[in-house]
Amino acid sequence: MGSLGNLVLISSFIFTIFGVSVSPAPRHTYHYLDGLLPNGDFETPPHGSNLNKTVIVGKYSLPKWEINGLVEYVSGGPQPGGFYFPIPRGTHAARLGNEASISQMVKLRWHSIYTLSFGATRTCAQDEVLRIEIGGQSANLSIQTLYSNGGDTYAFTFRANRNVVKVTFHNPGIQEDPTCGPLLDLIFIKEMLPLRRLPGNLLLNGNFEVGPHVIKSFNNGILLPPLQADHISPLPGWIIESLKPIKYIDRGHFFVPSGNAAIELVAGRESAIAQIIRTVPKKFYNLTFTIGDARNGCHGSMDVQAFAAQQAIKVPFISRGIGRSKTASLKFQAVSVSTRITFYSAYYHTKLHDFGHLCGPILDNVIVVPA
């Protein structure tokens, strides 16, 4: 089949999966996957005859999904027993009970890298875990810690090892109450295209413009798991090398110093990122970067520490949570053919009017050039 035929097939798949009809793409046009999974917002409900109160009855009763175990179709708001389910991205969500899972087959481009963005929220006091399994790749995400008000959004990145993969969300926990388990809502998938190095910067993606799908209607930031949980970085070019996640934020919902995106270091020294660049031994380089607050009520002494080769700097920043930033620089001398650039927040922080949610300083516009 010729190249035009391949492009038509790819375009047909992408727009068929999202229920959109378009004319065949021109020869030079390439449409990559970036959008909601079929019924990824769970707003297409099971038939009433397949619901026992909130419990879904039947393996294929949830449209576009295959379910196993106790899966509930729930609405946001107050619940019996005094519970409250935050579903800020829509009206409905799926709740996974003990050992329950939901799955969907997705057509992808073989060898391409994809990132899932999805809302996941604990519903009980116990330590809840959400397991993601895709084509033999998997990770366990702890959702016990709350990072935002109204439910957290997470990302998971994987490489497509075949053209059709099974995407599974699984609750591996067993709680005393079998209906306890995480809420799952609004699942997006985005193909991560290869990075291009921008002129005037030895770093890749130093402005953080390349990242997971950003939910336009509601976004409280996207939590990017550390290396231990996500072996392919959801932040291209960067290594999330800490124990806790970092948060990817956008200009539409937060203060961002430049461009459309930045990152928030939400867990003190447990929230660190790094990048390894090529350098010439004994040659001097300048590292510049911008720090600030995301205009999200995070306050206090929000210092950021940066490391490059054998040099380090601690940049002070006093935040009032209203959206301010400052630029800092560090001159360093390379000691080998590669140099690790690392950033982390010096302290732990919570929001001024919401002490139950972690936050921290933002980082943006990171540049390294020869001195």
Q: Is the pLDDT of residue 227 over 80?
A: no
Does 194-370 match 34-191 at the fold level? yes
DSSP-derived letter for residue 7 is H
- List the domain boundaries for the chain: 34-191, 194-370
Confidence category of residue 30, pLDDT binned at 50, 70, 90: very low
Q: What are 228's two structure tokens?
A: 């231990």
Owner of token pair 């001159």? 331
How many Å apart are CA 365 and CA 106, to the nearest integer? 35
For the CA atoms of 299, 265, 250, 40, the dihedral, rounded to the nearest 10 degrees, stands at -120
* SS3 assignment, position 339: strand
| Contact yes or no for 319/346 (Cβ under 8 A) | no
φ/ψ region of 181 (left if φ > 0, alpha if ψ in -120 to 50, else beta) reads left
Determine the pLDDT at residue 84. 57
- Give the range among 112-116, 172-176, 242-246, 253-257 with minimum mean pLDDT: 172-176
Helices (H), the chain: 3-17
Owner of token pair 């997470």? 154
**Mean pLDDT, the chain, integer:** 85
How many Å apart are CA 273 and CA 362, to the nearest integer? 12
Write the pLDDT tens digit of every residue in 52-62. 999 999 999 99
Best CA proximity match to 94, nearest among 153, 150, 169, 190: 169
Determine the pLDDT at residue 24. 40
- pTM for the full model? 0.86
**Beta carbons within 8 Å of 302's beta carbon, 6+ residues apart:** 291, 293, 317, 318, 319, 345, 347, 349, 360, 361
| Contact yes or no for 263/306 (Cβ under 8 A) | no
Confidence category of residue 284, pLDDT binned at 50, 70, 90: very high
Place domain 194-370 in its CATH homologous superfamily: Galactose-binding domain-like (2.60.120.260)
Dihedral sign computed on CA atoms, order 166, 172, 176, 180: negative
CB environment 32-57: b (16+ within 10 A), e (fewer): ebbebbbbbbbeebbeeeebeeeebe
Confidence category of residue 332, pLDDT binned at 50, 70, 90: very high
Write the pLDDT tens digit of every residue in 65-111. 999 999 999 886 555 555 656 665 667 889 999 999 999 999 999 99
Pick the CATH number of 34-191 from 2.60.120.560, 3.40.1170.20, 2.60.120.260, 1.10.10.10: 2.60.120.260
- Give the range among 110-124, 253-267, 343-357 with minimum mean pLDDT: 343-357
Determine the pLDDT at residue 29. 40
Longest CA span, the chain: 73
- CA angle 334–338–344, rounded 5-degree value: 80
AA identity, residue 245? P
